[in-house]
């Protein structure tokens, strides 16, 4: 309740009794008083990523109950809305939080463990054996906390995950504040905590049912690993229950030419056609999509499918380059992801944005391929559509969730600024992220992460790393 007094005038909102001098009658109305909001965030540039690609100089956003109330000029927002919580925007750019469409969060603890290998050697000789040895709920908690800390620091506000003990990861994300689609991994062979398909599938279904509608920032889903590790009958099984529960499916598809050879020899289909035939009418988040055929583009565009481009991981593993510009032109929803930190080796989405913009120009010999604005959209507006969240995140827009980040523009290497979009792709790094907000809650302010103890997490991560190093020296 606010009280306004001026000489003989007394106006107290929420009360029936109002006293005004005759001279003041008609000079004030309820409309003249600013509406209450929870938070106002400002920026020298507000990059909205709306349909008109509007950029507001000296802009601001008003936030209430985790939702964007209005986007506009800072002067107008301050006049129209009242709050004691204002984050100033001098030498700052304000934009939507980044969306990581494919990750394995707790694999941060395997960062740098095995490099310079092709995918199958990397998986079968290192990752699968070490996972079976070390992955426990405690391991997952530490790895997920480390991932959450890294993502908050680098400007990611939403991510899609596929890793073991998803209920542990979900608990971590509830506490740390990020938004996530967290999928339960399923594979035909023994894996951490499971003897094979039946128990991993049962556990996955139980997890999805328990977490549906449990927390507004967590969307549970299914994560069958890949068409070469999950037989068709099991993919269909996932598709049926996912459809029944309206749950997303995250799956690796067409990642390598070797995968294409395997699927063609076993099922006489390409990976894309095979997966679409098993998961008809499902909500599919297809990671990598390096080797789709042009003839498959119409069916991909017609399906409820998002293709997630992982340029750094695919380059490092020499898996190939996803035809992102061509897929976008064909009307396919495409997003951007880091993959796990064991194959990237980080969760830095600004690095993915820049790599995507550059690598497609290099491969095609065309500097116009995947221009800066499109590269930025892959991690914001386009990325939201690719994971099925286009109506709630990825844009700074009235009614959308208040998921946004502020970046510092004060360093000399950033000046002069002719085109802020160009700078966000080709100049600015994740180190410039100073504020991270999800659902209207400030997770980081002035580079200070509020929801996690970074020192403790790093100590625990290093302790786990020593155990793994000792094991590797013996094997």
For the stretch 73-121, pLDDT in tens is 999 999 999 999 999 999 999 999 999 999 999 999 999 998 888 888 8
Total domain count for the chain?
Answer: 1
* Residue 179 forms part of a structural domain: yes
Give the separation between CA 32 and CA 55, rounded to whole angstroms.
28
What is the per-residue pLDDT for 448?
98
Which pLDDT band holds residue 7 (cuts at 50, 70, 90)? very low
- Looking at residue 33, its pLDDT comes to 57
CB 364 within 8 A of CB 356: no
Range of the domain at 271: 98-400
Q: Is 289 among the domain residues? A: yes
Task: Report if residue 405 sits inside a domain.
Answer: no
User: Are the C-beta atoms of residues 317 and 119 closer than 8 Å to each other?
Assistant: yes
- Per cent of the chain over pLDDT 90 is 87
Judge whether 341 lies within some domain: yes
- In a domain? residue 333: yes
| Cα 285 from Cα 247, distance rounded (Å) | 11
pLDDT value, residue 158: 98
What pLDDT band is residue 20 in, cutting at 50, 70 and 90?
Answer: very low
Whether 155 is covered by a domain: the verdict is yes
Confidence of residue 23 (pLDDT cuts 50, 70, 90): very low
Of 5-14, 41-50, 142-151, 183-192, the least confident: 5-14
- CATH classification at residue 341: 3.20.20.140
pLDDT above 90 (res 122):
no
pLDDT digits (tens, 9 = 90+) for 251-266: 999 999 999 999 999 9
Render 389-401 in DSSP notation, one character per residue: -TTTSSS--TTSB
Q: What is the mean pLDDT of the chain?
A: 92
Residue 232 lies in a domain: yes
User: Cβ–Cβ contacts within 10 Å for residue 20, how many?
Assistant: 15
92 domain-assigned: no
DSSP per-residue letters across 286-333: EEE--S--GGGHHHHHHSSEEEEE-HHHHHHTT-----HHHHHHTT-E
Alpha carbons 151 and 157: distance in angstroms, whole number: 7
Q: What is the pLDDT of residue 30?
A: 38
pLDDT at 9 over 50: no
| Position 6 confidence tier, pLDDT thresholds 50, 70, 90 | very low
């Amino acid at each position: 309740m606010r009280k306004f007094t001026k000489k003989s005038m007394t106006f107290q909102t929420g009360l029936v009794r109002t006293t005004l001098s005759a001279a003041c009658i008609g000079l004030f109305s309820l409309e003249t008083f600013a509406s209450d909001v929870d938070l106002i965030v400002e920026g020298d540039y507000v990059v909205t990523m709306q349909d008109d690609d509007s950029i507001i100089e000296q802009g601001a956003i008003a936030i209430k109950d985790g939702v964007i109330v209005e986007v506009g000029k800072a002067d107008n927002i301050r006049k129209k809305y009242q709050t004691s919580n204002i984050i100033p925007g001098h030498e700052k750019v304000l934009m939507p939080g980044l969306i990581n469409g494919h990750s394995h969060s707790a694999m941060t603890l395997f960062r740098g463990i095995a490099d310079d290998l092709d995918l199958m050697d990397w998986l079968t000789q290192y990752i699968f054996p070490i996972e079976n040895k070390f992955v426990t709920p405690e391991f997952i908690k530490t790895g997920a906390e480390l991932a959450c800390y890294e993502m908050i620091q680098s400007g990611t506000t939403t991510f899609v995950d596929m890793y073991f003990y998803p209920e542990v990861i979900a608990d971590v994300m509830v506490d740390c504040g990020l938004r996530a689609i967290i999928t339960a991994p399923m594979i035909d062979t023994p894996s951490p905590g499971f003897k094979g398909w039946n128990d991993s599938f049962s556990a996955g279904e139980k997890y999805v049912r328990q977490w549906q509608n449990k927390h507004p920032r967590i969307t549970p889903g299914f994560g069958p690993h890949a068409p070469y590790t999950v037989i068709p009958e099991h993919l269909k099984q996932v598709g049926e229950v996912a459809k029944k529960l309206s749950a997303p499916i995250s799956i690796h598809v067409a990642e390598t030419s070797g995968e294409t050879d395997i699927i063609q020899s076993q099922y006489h289909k390409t990976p894309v056609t095979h997966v679409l035939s098993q998961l008809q009418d499902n909500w599919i988040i297809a990671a990598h999509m390096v080797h789709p055929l042009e003839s498959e583009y119409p069916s991909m565009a017609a399906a409820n499918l998002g293709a997630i481009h992982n340029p750094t991981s695919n380059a490092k593993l020499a898996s190939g380059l996803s035809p992102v510009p061509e897929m976008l032109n064909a009307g396919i929803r495409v997003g951007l992801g880091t993959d796990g930190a064991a194959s990237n080796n980080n969760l830095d989405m600004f690095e993915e944005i820049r790599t995507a913009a550059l690598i497609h120009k290099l491969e095609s010999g065309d500097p116009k391929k995947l221009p800066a604005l499109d590269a930025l959209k892959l991690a914001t507006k386009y990325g939201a559509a690719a994971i099925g969240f286009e109506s709630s995140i990825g844009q700074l827009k009235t009614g959308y969730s208040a998921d946004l980040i502020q970046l510092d523009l004060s360093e000399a290497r950033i000046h002069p600024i002719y085109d802020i979009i160009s700078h966000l792709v080709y100049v600015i790094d994740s180190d410039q992220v100073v504020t991270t907000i999800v659902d209207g809650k400030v997770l980081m302010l002035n580079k200070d992460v509020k929801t996690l103890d970074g020192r403790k997490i790093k100590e625990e991560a290093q302790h786990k790393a020593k155990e793994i190093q000792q094991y590797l020296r013996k094997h």
